[in-house]
Amino acid sequence: MNKNLSLIIKISVAALFLLSAFAKLYPTPLYGITKFFEQGQLIPMGFSAEFAPYFSRFIIGIEFFLAFAILQGNFLRKIILPSTILLLTLFSLHLAYQVFLGDSENCGCFGELIPMTPLQALVKNIITIAVLLYLYKYTKEDSERNLSKLTIQLLSALLLMFAFVPVQTVGKNKRVAGFSEYVVSDIDINEGKKILAFFDAGCEHCMEAAKSITQLSEEIEYFPQMHIIFSDSEEEKIPAFFEFAGKNYSYQVLPFYNEDDEINSYLEILGYEYENPAIIYLDNGNQMRFYDGAGNNAFDDEKFEKLFQ
């Protein structure tokens, strides 16, 4: 193969892997990797919510590693090219299954930076695999075989990935008195029974949850006070939110996310791994119940009511 063509292919594929890795960290590393890669791609593939954070960082670390390794001659034909083709093939099988099911949502391959349907991503992978097979066919025997060097490069990429975006290991049984430093309200959430909620004003599930809480407050004597932290993504809808809920609650508004470490954001305080609506039931600062999202851990007004019976 022409050396210039070989170099162009290597640079193009390396750039593709770098773009894929960086895109999964957009718009902020933890938000991108959690919302768009783990919840948008890995968990639907069957990975558990507990394992997905580790596997997501592993995959992105591998992408960074392959991007640099493919530009070298170290075990290029024996390890790097076959491994790259295998990785793309595995993801292509999943994409093909999504296409078969008629899924046309963003597959998460390039995160939110470049939304792609499963079909578009599958075509991209097939073209890349074909190019890599062509490169493999015309690549001579490895010019370098230094396994120690390759191993160090791989481990370095993985360690840097886990260090740069550490896995949050705090579970839902944590003591959440620390939330009080972010709450701006006359309500002391660390004293007695309180409810702290994280809502988006335009979120239908959040509105329904707030309405259910209002109904419970009218039925249960000494029902806990609730303070709401809204994200600023739909701040203008807050009046309509309270009208639907049937009651005005103590609330504050925080930026949804930001890159300024001096400013607390909605996502940073709630935790990137949780979904709206998030409702936390506190007793003297101790977390008694933590509901989030619209799935298995969604707020259940019937079960919540039993806590006061």
Answer left, alpha or beta for residue 75, where phi above 0 means left and psi between -120 and 50 means alpha.
Answer: left
Instruction: Report the b/e string of 148-184 with b at 16+ CB within 10 A.
Output: eebeebbeebbeebeeebeeeeeeeeeebeebbebbe
pLDDT tens per residue across span 140-186: 888 889 999 999 999 999 999 999 888 755 444 444 445 777 787 88
Q: Both 95 and 205 in a single domain?
A: no
Which has the closest alpha carbon to 18: 67, 57, 60?
A: 67
Q: What CATH number is attached to the domain comprising 192?
A: 3.40.30.10
What is the structure's pLDDT at 39?
A: 64
Let me know whether 133 and 199 are in one domain.
Answer: no
Which among 164, 198, 214 is the end of a domain?
Answer: 164
- Has residue 275 been placed in a domain? yes
Q: Which residue has the higher pLDDT, 169 or 19?
A: 19
Residues 142 and 215 in one domain: no
Residue 257 inside a domain? The answer is yes
Task: Say which residue, 264 or 292, is predicted with more confidence.
Answer: 292
Domain containing 283 equals 177-306
Of 105, 138, 164, which residue sits at a domain end?
164
Same domain, yes or no, for 94 and 236?
Answer: no
* 3-state class (DSSP) for residue 188: coil
Sign (positive/negative) of CA torsion 89, 91, 97, 99? negative
pLDDT-wise least confident of 36-50, 65-79, 130-144: 36-50
Residue 143 and residue 228 share a domain: no
**Helix pair angle (52-69, 3-23), 10° resolution:** 160
Q: What does the CA dihedral 116, 128, 64, 146 come to, rounded to 10 degrees?
A: 170
pLDDT value at residue 173: 40
Amino acid identity at 221: E
Q: Say if residue 109's pLDDT is above 90.
A: no
* Window from 123-137, 140-154, 186-200 with minimum mean pLDDT: 186-200
Q: How many domains does the chain have?
A: 2
Q: Which of 164, 199, 219 is the last residue of a domain?
A: 164
Q: For residue 141, how far is the Cα from the chain centroid? A: 40
35 plus 142 within the same structural domain: yes
Let me know if residue 170 belongs to a domain.
Answer: no
Give the strand order in the sheet containing 250-254.
250-254, 225-231, 193-199, 278-283, 286-292
The 10 Å Cβ neighbour count of residue 143 is: 12
